[in-house]
Amino acid sequence: MASSMARIFSLPRSTTTTPISHLSLSKTRPFSTTTHDQLNLPSLHPSPDADQMSQLLLHHHNPYHPTESPLQLIGILLSPHLVHQTLIRLRNVSKIALSFFHWAKSQPNYRHDPAAYHLMIDALGKVRQFDVAWQLVIEMDNLKLKPSFATFGILTRRLISAGLTRQAIRAFDDMESFVEKETSRDEFRFLLDTLCKYGYVKVATEVFNERKSRFGVDVKMYTVLVYGWCKINRPKMAEKFFREMVDRGIEPNVVTYNVLLDGICRKSSLHPEERFERTIKDAEKVFDEMRERGIEPDVTSYSIVLHVYSRAHKPELCLDKLNMMKSRGICPTVVSYTSVVKCLCSCGRIEDAEELVNEMVGNGVSPTAGTYNCFFKEYRGRKDADRALNLYRKMRQESQQLPSVHTYNILVGMFVKLDRMEIVKEIWDDMKASGGGPDLDSYTLLIHSLCEKKKWKEACQFFVEMIERGLLPQKVTFETLYRGLIQSDMLRTWRRLKKKLEEESITFGSEFQNYHFKPYRR
C-alpha cells in the first residue's frame, strides 16, 4: 500500500528557489511583530502574495482539511488527481513562503532564528519538497544555527506523514552527524511514536526490535507500540506487546492501561446491545486488573468509559459513572463532562445537560466550544431557532468561550434549512471576522443548501469564492452546481464558472472517484 501511495504522489521534483527578483514586494504595511521591534531589526514588508500565503497556510494547517489526509493515512482511497491538484496548490504556497524566507534573509542585519527555519522546513515537508528542506538543514549548520533534535523531529514527522518511512529512519540515523549530543532513548521513542501515530506500526516494531538493545526499553516505549497496534485495530497484537513488557519485568502504569482501554473501547461497535455489553465487560476487566496491580484508574480511564456510554446513548449509565468517579475523589475534566453533556443532549434531555454545564462551571471547569456544540446540534434537530440564537449570542458576548468553526457550520446549516438567510449572512460574516474562516465544510454545506433551494447564482458566487480562498471544492459540489445551471438554462453563469476553473486549472473529469476521508487527529 505504502509503495503504491508513493507512486501516486511522486511528483516531478522542481527547484523551488524562486529568484528574489520575481517577487513583488510592496511596501504598504509594516510587518508588526514585537520581537522585531525588541531586537531593533528592520521591519519587513510583506507582499500581497505573502499575505495570501499566510492565509492559505492557516487554512492548510487545519487538521480537518482533507489535503493532508492522503499523505498521513494509508489505506484510504482518494482520487489521485484531486490530491495532485491540491498538492500543486500547496506547492505554490510553499514557493511563495520560501521566496519570502529568502528575501527576509537578504535584509541587512536580519537573521532567521532556528524557529523560522523550523517553520520553513515544516512547510516544505508538507508539500514533499524534502530536497529543499534538507538544503535548509545544511544551511542552518553552515550558519552555526545548530540544527537540533527539534529540527530533525520536524523533518522526520513530515517524512513519515508522506509515507517515506525509510527516509525518515535514515534522517534519524544522520542526526548524530549534525547534533553534537548523542541520540538518546527519548529521541528514539519519538521516532517510534511518530511512526505509530501515522499508522506505520509494523515499521515501528521492526525498528524497535532492531535497536532495542542499543537504546534500551522502558514503559513509555511499550506504551507507544501498544497505542500503535490499537490504532490500526489490532488489539491482539497490542495485548501481545503488553504481555511482552510485563514478562520483561517492566511494570505497566496508568497511561499504559488507558491506552489499552482506549484500544478496547474506541473502535468497538456498540450496535447490537450484546456488543455494547461485551465492550463494557472488557473495559471493566481492565479496571479490575489495574486495581489488582494497585493502580487507581484516573480521569482519563473514566473519560474513555464515559465516551462509550455516550456513544451507546445511555444517559443513566453516564450519570452513574460520573457520580462514581466523583465519589472516588476524581475530578471530571472538560472532556469527561462534554461526553456526558453530549449524551444528554442527543437523548433530548437539554435541561439536564444545562444543569450539568452549570455544575461544571461551579466546579471551576469551563466548557469549550465543543461542549456548546452539543446543544447547537440538538437545537438544530428541533429547529429551535430562538434557543440556538440565544446561546450563540451568549457565547459571543461572554467571550468566555468563542464559537469554533464547527459552531458556525452547525448554525449555518440550520438557518439555511430554515430559510432564514439574514441570520445566515450574519453568522457567515461573524465566522469570517473570527479568523477561523469558512473552511471546506462551511462552503460545501452552504453551496449544497443553496443548490437545494435552486439559488444557483448565489451558489456559484460562493463556489468561486472558495476557490479564490484556496479551497478545492469536492466533486459532488461541482456536479450539483453544473447540473443545476444547465437545467435552469443559466448558460452565461455556467461559462463564467468554467472560465474561472480554467484560470485556476481545476478539472473535474469523469475519472474522478468519489472519495471518503477521515481526518487524522494530531
Partner DNA sequence: CTAGGGTTAG
**Residue 370 C-beta: closest distance to DNA, Å:** 2
* CB nearer to DNA: pick between 47 and 373: 373
**Residue 337 C-beta: closest distance to DNA, Å:** 8
Element spanning 447, H or E: helix 440-452
Q: Residue numbers of the site for DNA (CB under 7 A)?
A: 64, 148-150, 153-154, 157, 186-187, 189-190, 193, 197, 219-220, 223-224, 227, 253-256, 258-259, 262, 266, 298-301, 303-304, 307, 310-311, 333-336, 338-339, 342, 368-371, 373-374, 377, 404, 406, 409-410, 413, 441, 444-445, 448, 518-519, 521
**Residue 128 C-beta: closest distance to DNA, Å:** 19
**Residue 495 C-beta: closest distance to DNA, Å:** 27
**Residue 173 C-beta: closest distance to DNA, Å:** 16
* CB nearer to DNA: pick between 60 and 342: 342
* CB nearer to DNA: pick between 90 and 154: 154
Read off the C-alpha cell for 94.
Answer: 510553499
Name the 3-class secondary structure at 411. helix
User: CB neighbours of 289 closer than 8 A, spacing ≥ 6?
Assistant: 257
* CB nearer to DNA: pick between 5 and 259: 259
Rounded to whole angstroms, how far apart are CA atoms 220 and 417? 49
Q: CB pairs under 8 A, 24+ apart, for 324-330?
A: 325/299, 328/296, 330/297, 330/298, 330/299, 330/302
Rounded to whole angstroms, how far apart are CA atoms 87 and 108? 34
User: CB neighbours of 218 closer than 8 A, spacing ≥ 6?
Assistant: 185, 189, 250
Read off the C-alpha cell for 310.
Answer: 455516550
Cβ–Cβ < 8 Å for 369, 394: no
Cβ–Cβ < 8 Å for 331, 363: yes
* CB nearer to DNA: pick between 205 and 444: 444
Rounded to whole angstroms, how far apart are CA atoms 260 and 383? 40
**Residue 259 C-beta: closest distance to DNA, Å:** 5
Rounded to whole angstroms, how far apart are CA atoms 200 and 497? 42
* CB nearer to DNA: pick between 23 and 254: 254
Rounded to whole angstroms, how far apart are CA atoms 71 and 120? 19
* CB nearer to DNA: pick between 44 and 162: 162
**Residue 303 C-beta: closest distance to DNA, Å:** 4
